[in-house]
Structure 1
């Protein structure tokens, strides 16, 4: 069979010195794919102060002008090191630099960032950047890879507005860091959202995997004050929760922290999609539950649990479904996973990423552990969002 040169390559370095880390990923990439015109950079927050230098170095050394990316408390990659050895790595609390470079069809993408303008309806998100307006005049961004600022309270509404306004499908994650929260949109920015628009000539598929599994039936809120739920199905909310989580946990509610959550079904989806929100506190005096989402009377919800078995099962479901949808083997991937997943849910030794590697082999893949995950037009939690280019 004839040799087909790869269109994508990924590399990873764990060096604490930014210049050495850059040199190692350049060596890991090796021969740049012919026609390479777009790169993604994800760094752990230990290297955040060096991101400007990293971007300038890689742009000059690799010769690609267009770059997108951000910072994460953890980063992930199935990639080569400076010796060309490929492995799947989830890097936490350590220096980490991961890059993916690819040759996309000319004109198929546009790097962008966002600004905000005041309108009669309130604050509106607008996309900006060199060439963006001209590109959007002749292209429909069927897919948008995005990075968001978790400090923006209105971000969920603005993501929904952006997706609807451009008729695009969003995938991505919110930056995570113990210090600064920069994004890359050909330069460093702290936009509400930045990323890359793709038109239909850059074929890709995407999917979402949940980290929490529903327990008990769907129920309906019957009394609430913003984030404080007093009654569900006409009964005290705490009483209903105890019934659904089971007698063992109900006897010792101190054990449910980080294990029991609230799920909200997403209306209008063609699958059993749901948003997971945290249970913040319990008031035993009035039987109410405080959560991290404003709720309305009549809204449906259910209780769910976060565990390794359920998360692995759903990740394998996603991978099977994506393989069935692919018309040809994937060439590269981007993966955005929640900070509450990874080692915290799947265990050590990069087990979450290795599940993907077992399905798709040594496909170049990079990503980071996010403060929230973006899929379609919504902000999720405890999920993983996988995008595959083919």
Structure 2
């Protein structure tokens, strides 16, 4: 699923902003146990394409080594990167793996940096925190949306920040406004970076407005099996009946009709796609919100899925493998540049992708660079990805969420 956000996008009018001659993007990556030294190399690489201009926005992602002193080393590397970058605004996070310079690095100390000059773009950094209010928890720090704000980049620590509730609240009060980003994924405690500070939790981000034309691509990496069906009975996250028949019986019919290799694939990783537009005549790739199948109750015929399902929704079973994930990402990227080229991008790839799904950790960044026809791509392997599907923001898994600048 991809959505474009530029002037007029809120009203459905597509009016991309013409690229500015001063809009440049750079990325860098350095590997090694000396994280401050790696930060120096990665930042230098990211700044080089800017031709000496001060970056308006920089993003820094640091993968450290677990164990004593690991968090301190990550924090020091983040501080060093922000100092050397000298950007007007910087955000970043710790991670289990980082992406930059056309490579993905997992499980090894490394630093990735991304820098951009964005003339005409209004950049407002923010820090998200939580505070108790009565019997609940309120999130503070998210800026009031202005008329020309187009998209927000959000990085959070999943251990200290209620990302699910935050996304629900944003969908309610800012309908249609896109958020993109990821959950910090360091193997021990996380660090977040914001304008020269290192934060031990919460969330950070930037609101982007003004003369920015951006497109969000959310590749969920699945392909459908069987027909689209209507939910005729459900109890919260239990799928009880599909098209008037027990859900498990319907699933059995679909699996039996598949060739043996597809049956094995479904047995290893079955998912459910929930259609986000009930009024569409056809539901194809990108029209479903993908959620995992958690288990089945053979006796009752119910199927447990990783989200609440409701009677009347259209659903379709899905399978995920490397081929399906690669095809999905390539197709969505091609659509993202069909009418205008991209000049840079931020990539938030699930830490269940990389070498866990593909032959190489480089797969997603290779696909983004070749699909968009540009360098200037960096990001990290996240513990959950944030991005819009069907006009609503969701927390995803096994997804690649991409913010492209046009």
Residues 1:176 and 2:192 are matched in the alignment: no
Residues 1:58 and 2:81 are matched in the alignment: yes
Q: Where does residue 165 of structure 1 map in the other structure?
A: 173
Unaligned runs of 5+ in 2: 1-20
Residues 1:341 and 2:341 are matched in the alignment: no
Secondary structure of the structure 2 residue equivalent to 1:205: strand
Conserved? CA contact 1:59–1:65, under 8 Å: no
Secondary structure of the structure 1 residue equivalent to 2:228: strand
What CA distance in whole angstroms lies between the structure 1 residues aligned with 2:118 and 2:208?
10
Conserved? CA contact 1:76–1:90, under 8 Å: yes
Q: Where does residue 85 of structure 1 map in the other structure?
A: none
String of CA shifts for 1:308-358, please: whole Å, max 9, x gaps: 2222222221121111132xx432210112223233333226123212222
Which of 155, 159, 167 is the aligned partner of 2:163?
155
Secondary structure of the structure 1 residue equivalent to 2:180: strand
What CA distance in whole angstroms lies between the structure 2 residues aligned with 1:188 and 1:362?
31
Q: Where does residue 381 of structure 1 map in the other structure?
A: 397
Conserved? CA contact 1:7–1:34, under 8 Å: no
Label 1:308 to 1:17 Cα distance change in 2 as closer, same or farther (>3 A). Answer: same
Residues 1:246 and 2:256 are matched in the alignment: yes
Conserved? CA contact 1:281–1:291, under 8 Å: yes
What CA distance in whole angstroms lies between the structure 2 residues aligned with 1:109 and 1:145?
11
Label 1:236 to 1:192 Cα distance change in 2 as closer, same or farther (>3 A). Answer: farther
Q: Where does residue 215 of structure 1 map in the other structure?
A: 225
Conserved? CA contact 2:293–2:303, under 8 Å: yes
Of the structure 1 ranges 155-164 and 268-277, higher mean CA displacement relative to structure 2 is found in 268-277
Q: Where does residue 8 of structure 2 map in the other structure?
A: none
Label 1:124 to 1:309 Cα distance change in 2 as closer, same or farther (>3 A). Answer: same
Q: Where does residue 271 of structure 2 map in the other structure?
A: 261
How far does residue 192 in structure 1 lie from its aligned partner after superposition? 4.6
What CA distance in whole angstroms lies between the structure 2 residues aligned with 1:93 and 1:335?
18
String of CA shifts for 1:356-384, please: whole Å, max 9, x gaps: 22234451111112222222322233322
Number of aligned residue pairs: give it. 370
How far does residue 303 in structure 1 lie from its aligned partner after superposition? 0.7
Q: Where does residue 118 of structure 2 map in the other structure?
A: 104
String of CA shifts for 1:80-125, please: whole Å, max 9, x gaps: xxxxxxxx11111112210011222266101112234566896443
Which of 314, 328, 347 is the aligned partner of 1:300?
314
What CA distance in whole angstroms lies between the structure 2 residues aligned with 1:6 and 1:298?
47
Secondary structure of the structure 1 residue equivalent to 2:226: strand
Secondary structure of the structure 2 residue equivalent to 1:61: helix
Secondary structure of the structure 2 residue equivalent to 1:199: strand
Secondary structure of the structure 1 residue equivalent to 2:229: strand
What CA distance in whole angstroms lies between the structure 2 residues aligned with 1:303 and 1:246?
13
Residues 1:8 and 2:17 are matched in the alignment: no
String of CA shifts for 1:184-213, please: whole Å, max 9, x gaps: 232233555421100032332222222011
What CA distance in whole angstroms lies between the structure 1 residues aligned with 2:241 and 2:171?
34
What CA distance in whole angstroms lies between the structure 2 residues aligned with 1:343 and 1:60?
32
Which of 36, 40, 43 is the aligned partner of 1:19?
36
What CA distance in whole angstroms lies between the structure 2 residues aligned with 1:341 and 1:41?
21
Conserved? CA contact 1:205–1:389, under 8 Å: yes
Q: CA RMSD in A?
A: 3.2
Conserved? CA contact 1:275–1:381, under 8 Å: no
Residues 1:316 and 2:334 are matched in the alignment: no
Of the structure 1 ranges 205-214 and 230-239, higher mean CA displacement relative to structure 2 is found in 230-239
Which of 43, 51, 54 is the aligned partner of 1:35?
54
What CA distance in whole angstroms lies between the structure 2 residues aligned with 1:52 and 1:141?
31
Q: Where does residue 13 of structure 2 map in the other structure?
A: none
Unaligned runs of 5+ in 1: 80-87
Conserved? CA contact 1:224–1:231, under 8 Å: yes
Conserved? CA contact 2:386–2:395, under 8 Å: yes
TM-score (norm 1): 0.82
How far does residue 151 in structure 1 lie from its aligned partner after superposition? 4.1
What CA distance in whole angstroms lies between the structure 1 residues aligned with 2:63 and 2:123?
26
Residues 1:142 and 2:150 are matched in the alignment: yes
Conserved? CA contact 1:226–1:296, under 8 Å: yes
Label 1:211 to 1:252 Cα distance change in 2 as closer, same or farther (>3 A). Answer: closer
Conserved? CA contact 2:106–2:361, under 8 Å: no
